[in-house]
Amino acid sequence: MTAKPFWETKTLAEMTADEWESLCDGCGRCCLHKLEDEETDEIYYTSVACRLLDTESCQCKDYPNRRDIVPECTVLTLKDVEHFHWLPETCAYRLISEKKPLFDWHPLVSGSCESIHQAGVSVKGWVHSENDIAQDDLEDYIIPHNMIS
């Protein structure tokens, strides 16, 4: 009998730091700029990514130092679980917090870091770096909700 993988047997609170980090599927969606409608609190994703996101690999160019370089960088922590509703519906942190299974293309399930890109779930190839877009123009880059969920 094969033991179940950690993400099926542990809660987020029970995971080690390495297990927590491995939940990230590398989609790059957290790194997209988001706009919030102040009247409705609705979150709108844009196709503009943080300057540290490598838009081809969907990896942070300086992950260990990201908060020093980009102070507003989102760092997911256990204390934020109740706010994970803004994460894409495919995000492993959100799925586990909602007691749902990971998708077959998740690297922990597939065994390949490329499966997220092959499944078309990552932002690879269709986002712009914030270095190329004026902050005042972000509204022009809002993307349909179905591109994220």
Find where tokens 């499944």 sit.
119
- pLDDT of 88: 87
Confidence band, pLDDT 50/70/90 cuts, at residue 25? very high
Least confident of 4-8, 9-13, 65-69, 145-149: 145-149
130 domain-assigned = yes
pLDDT (tens digit per residue) in 82-134: 877 788 899 999 999 999 999 999 999 999 999 999 999 999 999 999 999 99
User: Taking residues 69-79, what's their average pLDDT?
Assistant: 90
Domain interval for residue 107: 15-147
- Is residue 2 in a domain? no
Query: In this predicted structure, what is the pLDDT of residue 75?
Result: 87
Q: pLDDT value at position 145?
A: 82
> What's the whole-number mean pLDDT along residues 49-69?
95
Question: Residue 123 in contact with residue 58, Cβ under 8 Å?
Answer: yes
Within-domain flag for 22: yes
Residue 1: pLDDT band with limits 50, 70, 90? low
- Answer whether residue 9 is part of any domain: no
**What is the C-alpha to C-alpha distance for residues 78 and 131, in angstroms, rounded to an integer?**
31
14 compared with 79, residue with greater pLDDT: 14
In a domain, 72, yes or no: yes
- Look at residue 3 and tell me if it is in a domain: no
Our CA dihedral for 131, 134, 135, 137, rounded to 10 degrees, sits at -130
Q: How confident is the model at residue 81 (pLDDT cuts 50, 70, 90)?
A: confident
- Does residue 7 fall inside a structural domain? no
Q: How many domains does the chain have?
A: 1
Q: Report if residue 33 sits inside a domain.
A: yes
Strand partners, 45: 34
